[in-house]
Amino acid sequence: MSSVLQFENRPKKPIEIDPDLKDFIDRAIVPILVKEYLELAESEADGANSVSNTAAPLPGERDGTP
């Protein structure tokens, strides 16, 4: 027989981060991530406008009827 586990909802404590580490993340890591995200979004947008073999078939193509 299975048992059900229930967990208390506890308020989350804010994580303390070293100010120097936060500054490094803000200056070095975040810009790189944003640049990569924007490049990925742009390439996905370009690909979304092209027809591929993964596009949904037209009505009648699925069952072979004209």
Number of domains comprising the chain:
1
Give me the sign of the Cα torsion angle 17, 19, 21, 27.
positive
pLDDT of residue 22: 94
pLDDT of residue 1: 59
Assess if residue 42 is contained within a domain.
Answer: yes
pLDDT of residue 25: 95
pTM, two decimal places: 0.46
Containing H/E element for 66?
A: none
pLDDT in tens, the chain (66 residues): 577 777 777 778 888 899 999 999 999 999 999 999 999 988 887 766 555 555 666 666 555 555
pLDDT of residue 12: 81
CA distance 52 to 8: 48
Which residues span the domain enclosing 21?
Answer: 16-48
